[in-house]
Structures are given as C-alpha cells and as structure tokens.
Amino acid sequence: MYVTIDEFGRFDVHEGKHGIKDLQEWVGGYVEHLDGPHGLDVWIDEEGKLKDKRINWKVTEWMEGRLMPGDYIAGKVVVTAMNEKRLAQFREEFDDGITMVAV
C-alpha cells in the first residue's frame, strides 16, 4: 500500500506493490527520499523546484521541522512505509483538511 498526495492536497490510497518506476511516474521525475514523521518514507521529485512545480503546502506543513528553514515540497508526493499500521496512522493524521479520493 502507498499514499499519493498531489499539489492540491488530493489524497489517494493505492493497494499493491510499487517500484522505483512507479514512484518516478507519479512524482514526474527522479525521486528523492525524505524521512517523514512516524518512520514514513516520503518520495518527491528531486527537481520539482527547478521545474517550477506548485508548492505542496499540505505536505510542506506536515514535514515542518524536517526541512531546512524556508524550504518547501514542490509537486506530487508518494508516502510509503514498511508497516501498514504506520500508513494507517498517517491517514488518520491527514484526514483533517485532505480530500480523500477513491482509486
């Protein structure tokens, strides 16, 4: 299972396995890994800012304290975890203010 969040805060839950090609396709470029809260893995387009992608305000806010001061996340994001319970916690944490989209 993995979760995708687009630049507009739309939140999708995907079942099944994923690989590097899937991550690259979703974020729209080469992926960069960030350590997220609760041991989650956050995958972003490493060149998102250079490509002038929209600021992903919701994820930037969620990652506060894990980014350099003034830094932000640009573009789509994929969130993964080794443990599905952690992804469930993430979903609960993000339920406020995020639009859930059925996949």
Q: Could you write out the DSSP letters of every residue in 38-99?
A: GG-EEEEETTTTTTTPPB-HHHHHHTTTTS-TT---BS-EEEE-SSHHHHHHHHHHH-TT-E
- Number of independent structural domains in the chain: 1
Mean pLDDT over each residue of the chain, to the nearest integer = 85
Domain limits at 71? 2-101
Is the CB of residue 10 less than 8 Å from the CB of residue 100?
no
Q: What's residue 91's pLDDT? A: 72
pLDDT digits (tens, 9 = 90+) for 34-57: 998 888 899 999 999 999 999 999
Say yes or no to pLDDT of 99 above 70.
no
Determine the average pLDDT of the residues in 11-16. 83
Q: pLDDT grade, residue 103 (50/70/90)?
A: very low
Q: 102: pLDDT confidence band, cut at 50, 70 and 90?
A: very low
